[in-house]
Amino acid sequence: MKKTDTADLWWKNAVVYCLDVETFLDWNNDGVGDFAGLAQRIDYLAELGVTCLWLMPFYPTPDRDDGYDITDFYGVDSRLGHHGDLVEVLRMAKDRGMRVIADLVVNHTSDQHPWFKASRSSVTSPYRDFYVWRKDLPTNQPETVFPGQESGVWELDEKTGEYYLHRFYRHQPDLNVENPAVREEIAKIMGFWLELGLSGFRVDAVPFFIEGDPGAVAGDEYGDPHDYLKSLRAFLGRRTGDGILLGEVNLPREEQLTYFGGEAFDELTMQFDFVAMQKFYLSLAREDAAPLAEALASRPRLGQPAQWANFLRNHDELTLDQLSDAERDEVFTAFAPDEDMRVFGRGIIRRLPTMLSGDPRRIRMAYSLLFSMPGTPVLFYGEEIGMGENRDISGREAVRSPMQWTPEPNGGFSNAKPRRLTAPVVDDGYAPRFVNVAEQRHEPGSLLSFIRTLIRTYRNSSEIGWGDFEVLDQPNRAVLAHVVSASEGRMVALHNFGPDPVSLELTIPDTAAGTRLVDLLTTGEVTLSDDGAGRFELGGYGYRWLRVIEPGSRRLY
């Protein structure tokens, strides 16, 4: 892969914000969020500090899987607006220095997609090979993504008497990505949206996407699936120069590196760090930093054109599938004690504030950690104000309730009658009358103000996105101490996973006598001894960001 100009690597220190247009703001009061509403909140996102907006699917859909069942990859769902409304959002975002990416969902289509309707019309249809068909039911079936909701991944089509593959729901038949015609269509889909102004894509369920037919053998006539991923990255590079592929790859570390493209780093640009996310919750449950420290230390070292994306919550269930059974039970017991808080036997359907019983100390410590970990932070809409989930909405969609703008009954999301809303508003201790943007926006002590401060400090600390990472040795099991270092500077971050105050001695490597560590989130500093040691105080669930200031440096912080 050719050397990339660092100016093109905008995503190395971006702030990514994920939202569903359908649940963000309804501007025409029909009960469904729309692009016109999103346009009214672009300034809010810019004020928050967002630099990259990630849009969940907005394409035409029967909406049986919250928009991930698509009937037209080139369209905009009419409930949300039209192409002109989307382009206006893209223009407004660009004017404010904000990039926009969107979900690329090409593992499957809706069973109502014209391609699938043609495919199932006849075994001789030219679209038959757009999907994966079998005359006989395969005996060795891969696991379904949704255990308990789907009993298998092959569904009999009564009309043609053959079975089609669906790794997800039966109404979402898998595309046959080994078919050159399908690959060409996917490239056209990407090219279309890039021309309208997108800066890349969040690629849904990448391993399922590039695997295609589970019965195929890698290296057959279609070639290695990773070669296909390389070709998509190359296509993106030719069309944009600095576009990104942010991949959903929930696999062990050694396999994740493969999806970056190995040492060439010519496949996915970024990957979500599912391993660190899951170990973070184990550390929270145990009040022991060791699981997260080990997860961060185990990250493969990445070349400059690659990056980890850090997150505490996404739009799906909070999956714990990479923990052992015993570890998963620990997290369930701590944060999802009731069975209806869990899903698929592997995940939690709650948002962070409810899992932490609304404890502001733990919530703020968690977000301080999110923004100080090496990599790029990703927020899910509503996190910045501490929204809760709505368990009246079934399954993993419990966290996709309408955004809460004001204390009004509908939270300022819509003036439609509650029964017409695309999803019910939270109606408990996290309801809009208690949690909303309007009341937090000008309150210095609010979570929203705190998140703004974290974002501003993160954006002023380029070493977090660009630097090398090291966990620092120290004696307290509840504390994670780490340093990130780059040519622009160094920063030390301390986080206490326990409820008790901590006083600890810490040695910062490679420091000169007289080096000072200046607090970035509050006032204060620590002067190190000649051997680089200093004493640091942390409150219960406390956190500190400290800039390393060498003697003679003219930096203020």
Active-site amino acid positions:
204, 248
CB 436 within 8 A of CB 404: yes
Instruction: For 300, list phi and psi in degrees, rounded to 5.
Output: -60, 140
Question: Is residue 492 within 8 Å of residue 548, measured between CB atoms?
Answer: yes
Whether the Cβ atoms of residue 518 and residue 489 lie closer than 8 Å to each other: no
Distance CA 535, CA 557 (A): 19
Q: Under DSSP, is residue 401 helix (H, G, I), strand (E, B) or coil?
A: coil
Residue 3 identity (one-letter amino acid): K
Q: Which is it for strands 489-496 and 543-549: parallel, antiparallel or unpaired?
A: antiparallel
For residue 494, give the DSSP letter: E
* Neighbouring C-alpha atoms within 13 Å toward the C-beta of 242: 12
- 3 state SS of 118: helix
Q: Cβ(378)–Cβ(417) under 8 Å?
A: no
Question: Does residue 545 come out as left (phi exceeding 0), alpha (psi in the -120 to 50 range) or beta?
Answer: beta
* Of 335, 265, 275, the residue nearest 304 (C-alpha): 265
Whole-number Cα distances in Å, 322 to 169, 251, 366: 22, 8, 20
Helix, strand or coil for residue 178? Answer: coil
Query: What residues pair up with 100 in beta bridges, in sequence order?
Result: 53
Between CA 489 and CA 511 the distance in angstroms is 12
Tokens of 335: 């944060």
Q: Are 493 and 543 in contact (CB under 8 A)?
A: yes
Alpha-carbon gap, residue 403 to 231, rounded angstroms: 38
Give the integer Cα–Cα distance in Å for 174 and 509: 52
| Beta bridge mates, 263 | none
- The residue count of the chain comes to 557
d(CA 108, CA 116): 10
- Three-state secondary structure call for residue 254: helix
Strand-by-strand arrangement of the 479-486 sheet:
468-471, 479-486, 489-496, 543-549, 516-519, 525-527
